[in-house]
Every structure is written in structure tokens, then in C-alpha cells.
Amino acid sequence: MESGPVACTLAAARGDAVVVVDVLSFSTTVTMAVDMGATVLPLTPDEIEAAGGPGVVQRSLRGEMISATRQVGPRGLFSLSPASLAGLREPLAREPGMRLIFTSLNGARCVHAARGAPVVLVGCLRNATAVAGEIGEALRGPVDRVTIVACAESWTSTAGIGGTRPALEDWVGAGAIAAACADLGLVLSVEAIAAAHTHRALGDPAGWLPRTVSGRELIDRGFSEDVILAAETQVSTTVPLWRPGVDPERAFRTP
């Protein structure tokens, strides 16, 4: 159990598999998109800028660019808002495996930082048990250790300054995965045990997630449905997964 992009880089350098947890909302949105049958390609804002901008990236990766600005707009406008994905089912029925290019301040940066890992997974409250199952599979292969990374939150969301702050929802989301790993008999670090205990102590996320700093912020901005979707537990068996050594494109699909 660790936190932020640096943890992802260090874990990958050790040869660990990495689980990226950003409950509000990168991990939740990516899980829902892959659950619907999409292929998700996460890039950092810096990567998109360096490549020549969204238009160039969209053409080169042959995908649909997902707005980094949270919004629920007209049909066909998708963003990091999980609620905005409601209209994806019809396009995905016509085009299974539709390629969606995601970016975010935290989740995409953690994925980028983990690019040297043998396996990168995306986890949230919705798929915590399924992620634990994939962790078990990874540990039966060439991976000796898995690091679950709580992405944390940008201070820009509340204070308009740089840097990151702890995000309870990511810590507890990681704890939900750790608790499911413990149920499978996997050995946890002290930090993972603490996160698992926090998850169990807080109980149903529908009761506490809306009262977190990030949850209150989203509700105040009119995105209460995003908080509701992110708080749902055990509703998905989908685990977005990327094997960097096999797929240099950084494409997350179901295992």
C-alpha cells in the first residue's frame, strides 16, 4: 500500500505488479468503460501536449478523446464523469472494443508512472473483489509482490495550488481491495492491513463517500450521481488490465 505516482515508479522498478486506485473518478470511469466493452488508453496531459494536442493524439491512436473536464452533456459527450458514460452502450454495441483516450491529473499519471511494471491493474470500490482475484493470479505467475497505490487528490480541486493531498476515498478503495486479498489468504503489509481495517470500519461507502472532501466538492458542483456510482460495491467483475511488456500501446481491456 503506497500513494501517488512516485510510488508507482518505485513499485515498477522493483518488478511489482501495480494496482492504481483513484475512486473519484479515474478508476471508476475506466472500470465502467471497460465493463461496457471499451478499450481505454490513458495518457497524461503532458503526453498529449507533447504529441501535438488532442486532435493529433486522437488521429494517431484512432480513438475517441474523453474530455478531462468533468461534465455530463449532450448524448455523445463523455468525460471523467462516470455518469457521462450512460450513452456509451449504444455506440459500443455498434463498435465493440471502441477506443477511448482518457486523461486525468492523477489516475493517468499513476498509470504512466507504472509503465515499467509487469502488470498494471485499475481498481475501485465497484470491482475490488475481482481485482483481488487478479492479484492472486498475478502472484501465481512471475510476480512476487503487488503494490496497491492510492492515487491521492490534487490540491487544485480545493485550493487552487499545486501538489497532492491525501484522499480518504482512494485509501479506503485500496483497503477494499486489500481486504478482499486477505480473504483469499494473501499476505498483507502493515499499511495494507490498516487500509483494510479502515474499509471495514467505515462500512457502506454510500454512507461515508458523500461526506468526504472530494465527495462534498463533487456534490456541490452538481455531480452527485458520480459519487453514487463510485460508492457502489461489488457490482463489477471487470478488471481493466495492461501488460506493458506485451502491449506497448498502454491499452486497458478485460483480462
Supply 223's cell numbers: 455531480
The full set of domains in the chain, from first to last, is 2-241 (3.90.1560.10)
Beta bridge partners of 26: none
pLDDT at 75: 47
Q: How many CA atoms lie within 13 A of 29 on its CB side?
A: 31
Per-residue pLDDT tens over the stretch 75-119: 445 788 999 887 788 888 888 889 999 988 899 999 999 999 999
pLDDT in tens, 222-235: 999 999 999 999 99
- pLDDT beyond 90 at 11: yes
Q: What is the mean pLDDT of residues 149-170?
A: 76
pLDDT for residue 185 is more than 80: yes
Single-letter code of the amino acid located at 145: R
Q: What is the pTM of this model?
A: 0.93
Tens digit of each residue's pLDDT (9 = 90 or more) over 166-178: 899 999 999 999 9
Whole-Å CA distances, 77 to 31, 71, 82, 96: 18, 8, 12, 18
